C-alpha cells in the first residue's frame, strides 16, 4: 500500500517508517529508534484481527442462518466489521481532501467500499478494506525490515558518555558535552564523540565504522571517532566536535535523508500517479453512467458495481509504494556493505556508468608510504633526513608522514620558517636558516635546480631535495597496492566499464601500478587542475549519449573539484574527511576499491527489481481493468489486482536486502 507524499503527524502517527521512504526524513532524527512493546503491537494488529473475525462470522451466518441474518442486523454486523479498518482510511481521505489533495488511494478505497455498502454488497466492502489494511501492515513490516541496517548504524552512537569535571568522572548526555571537555572511555565502551587521544595509546575496534576487522592502535594526539569501541585499557580523550557535528552524526543524517534525492523512475511514478488516479475516478464514473444511453436493460446497481470494481482495481498502491521501497531497500543493502548512497538517484546512475576514473593514492593503493632508500649529496644522510622531516612536518600529505617516521626524533628542534606549499609540486621554506625545497621534479625545475634526469626512471615515488639552490639528494618511497585493487578493476571491466587512473605521482610510478592492475587508461604527473581537464575530456566523449555516465573515485580532499564534476562522485574513507561527506554522492566507508563494483551490482539489482514491479503492476492491472469494465471481474478479482499485486511487489522489493553481493 502507499501513502500520499505530504504526511502530517495528525494524519498518520503509525506510519513514520513509511514517511522515511517518501520524504527522506524520520520523526526523530537524533533519537534511537523506539522498540514496539507487546501493547503497541496489539494496538497495531487488533483492528485487522477483529474485522477478520467479524467478516468470517458474517459470511458463515450468510450461509447457515440466512433466514435470521437479515437487515438491519446484517447491515449493522458488517458495519461493525468495517469500522475498525475503514474508519482510519476514511479519516485520512477526508483529511487529505481538506488539504486539497482529493485523488489519493484513501479516497479510492473509501468511495469503493462505501459504494459497496450502498448497493448491499457488505462482505465485499469489508473485504476490500480489510485486505487494504493488511497490505498496509505488510508494507510497514517490509519497511522496518529494510531499515534494519540503518537502525544498526543508529545504535552505533551512544547517547551517554563519562566526562571528567573537577577531577570527578560523571555520566552526562553526549549532546550536552562541550568542545574541550575531557571524556573517559572504559574498556568495551563505545566512543560517543569525536576527539583527540589524551592518553598515551589505546586499541580500538573500528569495524562498525569501516568494516575493518583488525583493531587500530591510536596514540596520543591522534583522532578518535564516535562509534569506535575501546578494546583494552581505560583511556581519556579531548572532545573536538559537538555531538551533532561528529563525523558519525553527519553520516547518519545523510543515510536518514538519503531517499530525499529521488531516482527518475520514482519521480516519474509520482507524476504518473497524480494523473492516473483522477483518470481512474473519471473512467469509473463513465462506466457507471454512460451505458444508460446505450444499453437497453440498463440496471444502475449492476453498472455501479462495475464502476466500484474498476475503482478498486485501479488503485495505484503497488506502484506508489513498491518503487520507493525498492530503492530504499537498495540504500539499505548498500549500508549493510559499508556503501552509503546519498539518494536513490545514485542507485540509478550506478547502472549507467561507462567510465570509472580513479585516483591512485589512497584509492587503489594503501596511501601508507614508507621510505625505502635515501641518497644524499654533499650532506650527511641523517642530517638531510632531519631537515626534510622538519619541513615536511608542516604538511599533512602521506609522503610527509613517511619522511617524518624515517627521520625519527630530532627534527622538532630544527627551526622552520616561511613554509609555502605549492600544489602538485611540494614544499619550499627556510629550514635551519637555509632555503630548502622538498618535492617532485617539477618543483626543482620550477626553481632552476639541476638534477640527474635518469632519476625519473625509478618506478617509485621520489622526494627530491635542494638546499640553497643545489640538489641535496632524494628519498625513494613506496606505496602498497590494496589487496582488492586488481579484483576491483577486473569486476568493473566485466560490467563493460572502462577504467581510468589519474595521479599527481610521476609517470613511471603510475605506469608500474597501471600495468599491475590492468587499468585501461592512465595519466601521471597531474596537477589538480589537470585532473579536472582530464575528466572534462572523458565526459565530452559521451556528449551524444545522455545515458552514459562517468564516476570519479578519490579521497574527497585533494580531489574534491573532480568529485563534484563527475556524474557520480565516490569517496573512499567517508569518515576521514569533511570534504568527502559534503562533496561525494556515494561514500565507501572501509576504503575497499572492490566496493565500487559492489555499488554497481546493488544499483543494477535495485533497478531490475523496480522494473519487475512496474511491469507486474501495469500488466495485471490492465488485464483486470478490462475484465472489470466488461463485468467479468468481481470485487474478489479486484482485491487481488490491488492488494495481491501490491503484496507481491513489496515482497519483490525487499528481496534486494537478501541478495548476495561480493
Query: Smallest Cα–Cα separation from 20: which of 345, 347, 344, 267?
Result: 344
C-beta of residue 512 within 8 angstroms of C-beta of residue 525 = no
Q: Which residues are designated catalytic?
A: 359
Q: What share of the chain is helix, strand, coil (3-state, %, to 5)?
A: 55, 20, 30
> C-alpha grid cell for residue 100?
486539497
C-beta of residue 385 within 8 angstroms of C-beta of residue 407 = yes
Query: Smallest Cα–Cα separation from 341: which of 245, 262, 270?
Result: 262
Strand boundaries in 193-338, DSSP class E: 195-197, 201-205, 216-219, 223-224, 229-230, 235-239
Query: Smallest Cα–Cα separation from 644: which of 312, 349, 352?
Result: 312
Query: Which of helix, strand or coil describes residue 546?
Result: coil
Query: Smallest Cα–Cα separation from 300: which of 145, 147, 115?
Result: 115
Question: What DSSP state is assigned to residue 432?
Answer: T
C-beta of residue 522 within 8 angstroms of C-beta of residue 628 = no
Residue 355, strand partner residues: 498, 550
Look up cell 450502498; give the residue.
118
Query: Smallest Cα–Cα separation from 206: which of 230, 239, 222, 235?
Result: 230
- Rounded to whole angstroms, the Cα distance separating 488 from 485 reads 5
Question: What DSSP state is assigned to residue 261?
Answer: S
C-beta of residue 414 within 8 angstroms of C-beta of residue 434 = no
Query: Which of helix, strand or coil describes residue 353?
Result: strand
Q: How many residues does the chain have?
A: 662
- Rounded to whole angstroms, the Cα distance separating 144 from 133 reads 17
For 27-59, the DSSP string reads: TTTTSPPPPP-HHHHHHHHHHHHHHHHHHHHHH
Question: What DSSP state is assigned to residue 661?
Answer: -
Residues 6+ apart with CB under 8 A from 20: 26, 143, 147, 256, 259, 328
Phi–psi pair at 85, nearest 5 degrees: -100, -25
Amino acid at each position: 500500500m502507499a501513502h500520499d507524499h505530504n504526511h502530517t503527524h495528525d494524519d498518520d502517527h503509525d506510519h513514520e517508517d513509511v514517511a522515511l521512504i517518501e520524504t527522506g526524513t524520520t520523526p526523530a532524527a537524533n533519537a534511537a529508534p523506539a522498540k514496539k512493546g507487546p501493547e503497541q503491537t496489539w494496538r497495531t494488529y487488533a483492528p485487522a484481527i477483529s474485522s477478520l473475525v467479524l467478516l468470517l462470522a458474517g459470511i458463515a451466518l450468510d450461509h447457515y442462518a440466512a433466514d435470521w441474518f437479515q437487515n438491519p442486523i446484517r447491515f449493522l454486523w458488517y458495519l461493525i466489521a468495517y469500522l475498525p479498518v475503514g474508519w482510519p482510511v476514511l479519516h485520512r481521505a477526508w483529511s487529505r481532501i481538506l488539504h486539497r489533495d482529493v485523488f489519493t488511494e484513501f479516497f479510492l478505497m473509501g468511495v469503493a467500499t462505501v459504494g459497496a455498502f450502498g448497493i448491499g454488497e457488505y462482505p465485499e466492502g469489508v473485504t476490500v478494506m480489510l485486505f487494504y489494511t493488511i497490505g498496509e501492515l505488510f508494507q510497514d513490516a517490509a519497511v522496518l525490515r529494510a531499515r534494519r541496517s540503518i537502525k544498526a548504524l543508529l545504535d552505533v552512537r551512544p547517547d551517554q558518555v563519562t566526562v571528567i569535571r573537577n577531577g570527578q568522572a560523571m555520566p552526562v548526555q553526549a549532546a550536552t558535552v562541550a568542545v574541550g571537555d575531557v571524556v573517559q572511555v572504559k574498556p568495551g565502551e563505545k566512543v560517543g564523540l569525536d576527539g583527540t587521544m589524551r592518553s598515551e595509546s589505546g586499541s580500538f575496534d573500528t569495524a562498525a565504522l569501516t568494516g575493518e576487522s583488525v583493531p587500530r592502535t591510536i596514540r596520543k594526539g591522534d583522532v578518535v571517532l564516535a562509534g569506535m569501541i575501546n578494546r583494552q585499557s581505560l583511556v581519556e580523550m579531548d572532545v573536538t566536535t559537538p555531538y551533532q557535528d561528529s563525523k558519525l552524526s553527519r553520516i547518519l543524517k545523510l543515510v536518514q535523508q538519503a531517499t530525499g534525492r529521488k531516482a527518475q523512475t520514482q519521480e516519474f511514478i509520482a507524476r504518473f500517479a497524480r494523473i492516473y488516479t483522477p483518470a481512474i475516478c473519471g473512467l469509473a464514473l463513465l462506466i457507471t453512467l454512460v451505458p444508460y444511453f446505450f444499453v437497453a436493460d440498463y440496471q444502475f446497481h449492476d453498472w455501479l458495481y462495475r464502476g466500484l470494481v474498476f475503482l478498486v482495481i485501479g488503485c495505484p498502491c503497488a506502484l506508489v509504494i513498491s518503487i520507493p521501497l525498492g530503492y530504499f531497500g537498495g540504500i539499505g543493502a548498500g549500508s549493510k556493505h559499508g556503501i552509503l548512497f546519498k539518494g536513490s538517484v545514485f542507485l540509478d546512475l550506478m547502472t549507467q556508468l561507462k567510465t570509472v576514473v580513479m585516483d591512485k593514492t589512497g584509492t587503489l593503493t594503501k596511501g601508507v608510504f614508507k621510505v625505502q632508500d635515501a641518497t644524499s649529496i654533499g650532506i650527511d644522510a641523517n642530517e638531510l633526513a632531519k631537515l626534510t622531516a622538519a619541513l615536511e612536518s608542516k604538511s599533512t600529505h602521506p609522503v610527509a608522514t613517511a619522511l617524518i617516521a624515517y627521520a625519527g626524533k630530532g627534527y622538532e628542534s630544527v627551526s622552520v620558517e616561511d613554509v609555502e606549499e605549492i600544489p602538485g609540486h611540494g614544499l619550499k621554506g627556510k629550514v635551519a636558516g637555509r632555503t630548502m625545497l622538498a618535492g617532485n621534479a617539477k618543483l626543482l625545475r620550477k626553481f632552476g635546480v639541476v638534477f640527474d634526469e635518469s632519476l625519473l626512471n625509478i618506478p617509485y615515488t621520489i622526494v627530491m631535495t635542494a638546499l640553497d639552490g643545489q640538489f641535496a639528494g632524494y628519498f625513494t618511497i613506496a606505496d602498497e597496492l590494496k589487496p582488492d585493487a586488481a579484483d576491483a578493476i577486473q569486476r568493473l571491466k566485466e560490467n563493460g566499464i572502462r577504467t581510468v587512473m589519474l595521479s599527481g605521482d610521476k609517470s613511471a610510478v603510475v605506469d608500474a601500478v597501471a600495468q599491475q592492475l590492468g587499468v585501461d587508461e592512465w595519466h601521471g604527473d597531474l596537477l589538480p587542475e589537470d585532473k579536472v581537464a582530464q575528466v572534462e575530456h572523458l565526459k565530452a566523449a559521451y556528449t551524444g549519449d545522455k545515458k552514459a555516465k562517468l564516476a570519479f573515485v578519490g579521497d574527497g580532499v585533494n580531489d574534491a573539484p573532480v568529485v563534484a564534476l563527475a556524474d557520480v562522485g565516490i569517496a573512499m574513507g567517508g569518515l576521514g574527511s569533511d570534504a568527502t561527506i559534503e562533496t561525494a554522492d556515494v561514500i565507501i566507508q572501509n576504503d575497499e576499491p572492490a566496493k565500487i563494483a559492489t555499488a554497481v551490482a546493488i544499483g543494477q539489482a535495485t533497478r531490475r527489481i523496480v522494473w519487475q514491479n512496474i511491469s507486474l503492476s501495469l500488466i495485471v492491472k490492465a488485464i483486470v481493468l478490462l475484465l472489470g469494465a466488461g463485468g467479468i471481474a468481481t470485487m474478489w478479482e479486484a482485491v487481488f489486482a490491488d492488494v495481491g499485486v501490491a503484496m507481491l511487489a513489496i515482497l519483490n522489493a525487499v528481496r534486494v536486502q537478501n541478495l548476495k553481493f561480493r
